[in-house]
Amino acid sequence: MRMLLIFVAVKHNGTTMIKQYFSLSLLLILMLSHSLIKAQEINQMMMDTLRKRPVLIDFVDRDGLQTGEFAESYATEYADYQVDQSIADQLKTVMTGVEVTIVLGSWCGDSKEQLPRFLRLMDAIGFPEDNLVMIAVGSDKKARTIDAGIYAVQKVPTFIFYRMGKELGRIIETPRVSLEADMLRILKRPAHPDDLD
């Protein structure tokens, strides 16, 4: 969000002082309009022609995952997942600068299982929500308004880990060992893509 700054030069005792004034009403309007636009962009549904039912599409957040057919599995998997705290503590030390993109299918059993578990882990390590992007695709692995093809996803969910814009690795569908162990392996190695199948 952009803020409008008004600079005013004021002559005071022979010196010029620069004062910054925020246009509070304009700032509030910008914040409100940004929120309304953002609300329209996320958690959208579309009819999946292959599955013949509505699915989440494009950008989603936790609210979207806690509605519709995803809601029951989200609640159960999130509540039941036991985070390995010893690995979670190690993850906290390597998460600086990490960003995660998740490509998921709200219709997919693996997404319904792994995504709530992943979010439980992220909460346990205090991962900033701003560093997480979730993109829902239809059964054709395409989104409606987002070019999901740039992620070259074959299976969902795919968890893609980045640091400073460079892909570090992926967890595809289900982890090899556990979400924690696979993440730690990805984040501790040098920055070279090495998919985990």
Is it the case that residue 10 has pLDDT exceeding 50? no
Q: Which residue has the tokens 């070019």?
A: 147
Q: What is the dihedral of CA 118, 122, 123, 129, to 10 degrees?
A: -110
Helix (H) or strand (E) holding 97: none
> Of 33-42, 131-140, 163-172, which range is least confident?
33-42
pLDDT range class, residue 41, cuts 50, 70, 90: confident
Q: Which residue has the tokens 């002082």?
A: 17
Distances (CA, A) of 161 to 6, 64, 86, 107, 169: 40, 22, 21, 23, 6
Nearest to 166 by CA among 101, 74, 88: 101
Separation CA 181–CA 107 (nearest Å): 26
Say whether the peptide bond before residue 128 is cis (omega within 30 degrees of 0).
Answer: no
What is the percent of the chain with per-residue pLDDT over 70, rounded to a whole number?
A: 76
Contact present, 135 and 104 (Cβ < 8 Å): yes
Q: Which residue has the tokens 């039941």?
A: 80
Phi-psi domain of 161 (left: phi exceeds 0; alpha: psi -120 through 50; beta: other): beta
Q: What is the CA radius of gyration of the chain?
A: 21
Residues in the chain: 197
Is it the case that residue 102 has pLDDT exceeding 80? yes
| Tens digits of residue pLDDT in 118-161 | 999 999 999 999 999 999 999 999 999 999 999 999 999 999 99
Looking at this protein, which amino acid is placed at residue 74? Y
- The CATH architecture to which 42-188 belongs is 3-Layer(aba) Sandwich (3.40)
Tell whether pTM > 0.75: yes
Domains in the chain: boundaries: 5-36, 42-188
CB atoms within 10 A of CB 172: 21
Is it the case that residue 81 has pLDDT exceeding 60? yes
